[in-house]
Structure 1
Amino acid sequence: MTEPNRRTRGIQRGPRSIQVVESVRAATLAELSRTGFAGLTIDAVAKAAGVSRPTIYRRWPSKAALLQSVVEPLLERYDVDPRTGSAFGDLLALMVLIRENAARPEGRAMITAATTGAAELHELVHAANARTVAPFHRALQRAVERGELSPASDVPIIAYILFQAVVMWEPAHGSPPSDPDLHRILTTVLTPAV
């Protein structure tokens, strides 16, 4: 016997909706920690969150969308620029932010999922990386405008190097970069080679 088609009211708003979103985000994070991205299923998330599959699919039509909802609060942190008054201070604050985000369960889930090379994550990983590098571009551009960096500075390359230095530190060294490591990286990148 087939179940009759049910009409739904679409995506709901309000306190219950907020509760559902938070429950699904928590369930997704727990499932990612338990099974990894490859083992993540909509059924398992729905069951763990105490909601129906249609509830999940209305807001999150794919596993990538579920992962996006988990990491969005971390990505939002890159939307607010540090304003320390110096290029060194702004860039260091951004490097610390990457390190902090990577240490959070949501950051770990994103890093682990991204390393699977899943084709369905290509767009999400690209967008997350671009959003993370963007404040470096803005900080460096402010530094050029203040005269701290030469107008000839290759802002996109400097931003990319600083971003990658933090992201790749732990896989290369077995632990996140320390504060002295971050200072050393930043000083090296910002000091012109003779």
Structure 2
Amino acid sequence: MTDEPRRTRGVQRGPRSTHVIESVRAAALTELDRVGFARLAMDAVARTAGVSRTTVYRRWPTKTALLATVVEPVLQRYDTDPDTGTARGDLIAALALIRANSALPEGRALIAAAGEPDSQAVVRAANDRTIAMLERLLTRAVDRGEITTDVRTVAYLAMQGTVMWPQIRDTPLDDAELERFARVLLP
């Protein structure tokens, strides 16, 4: 028997690793839905995922890092811009995407985490990515001469209005309201 400490191989790659990531991601979503970000416990995530605490902490040393991984697939949807051929059509398509993402478990987790100090970096990055998509499509419309507007402000109002509507109104944001948003934001 040796006195040397056991050496691990660090973060693994491959099929088992992919399975672990997806298991932990699903478990984190379950726990976020159950207890929220503030009360999220990495031990509970590990237990729900059927992996060890070490496995979780090796990849995600903090709850914030785990939240970032959980929401990334939803945020990737903002990397491709709607292109319907019109500013209004693009804006409505983008708002529909934001509405859909906000209703997903990942989106709900991000919205719920917004008030927590530890999650601010992830929430800010998610907001920035969402607004960037809106700014790109609005800038494209300005460049085509289709609209003249304060791109940054319209993008921010569009994103916040779409995300916050169900929180404030306690009703889903329907297609007619998306059309109305577009008419107000792009007169």
TM-score normalised to the size of structure 2?
Answer: 0.94
1:126 aligns with 2:124: yes
1:70 aligns with 2:98: no
1:84 aligns with 2:84: yes
Gaps of 5+ in 2: none
1:178 aligns with 2:163: no
Q: Using the alignment, how far apart are the partners of 1:39 and 1:158 within structure 2? A: 35
Q: Using the alignment, how far apart are the partners of 1:5 and 1:26 within structure 2? A: 33
- The answer to whether the 8 A contact 2:113-2:123 is kept is no
1:40 aligns with 2:40: yes
> 3-state SS of the aligned residue for 2:37?
helix
User: Which structure 2 residues correspond to residues 5-20 of structure 1 after superposition, within 5 A?
Assistant: 5-20=5-20
**How many angstroms does 1:176 deviate by?**
2.1
Which of 178, 184, 187 aligns to 1:188? It is 184
What per-residue deviation string (whole Å, max 9, x for no partner) do you get for residues 66-93 of structure 1? 1111111110000111111111111111
Q: Which moved more, 1:57-66 or 1:19-28?
A: 57-66
1:99 aligns with 2:94: no
- The answer to whether the 8 A contact 2:92-2:182 is kept is yes
- Identical-pair percentage: 57
Q: Which amino acid aligns with 2:167?
A: P
> 3-state SS of the aligned residue for 1:83?
coil
Tell me: CA distance 1:23–1:175, structure 2 relative to 1, closer, same or farther (3 Å). Answer: same
Q: How many equivalent pairs are there?
A: 184
Gaps of 5+ in 1: none
Q: Using the alignment, how far apart are the partners of 2:35 and 2:185 within structure 1? A: 39
Q: Using the alignment, how far apart are the partners of 2:119 and 2:130 within structure 1? A: 16
Instruction: Provide the residue aligned with 2:61 in structure 1.
Output: 61
What per-residue deviation string (whole Å, max 9, x for no partner) do you get for residues 105-157 of structure 1? 1111111121xx2221111111010001111100011001111012xx21101
Q: Using the alignment, how far apart are the partners of 2:54 and 2:86 within structure 1? A: 49
Q: Which amino acid aligns with 1:166?
A: T
Q: Using the alignment, how far apart are the partners of 2:116 and 2:30 within structure 1? A: 20
Q: Which amino acid aligns with 2:38?
A: A
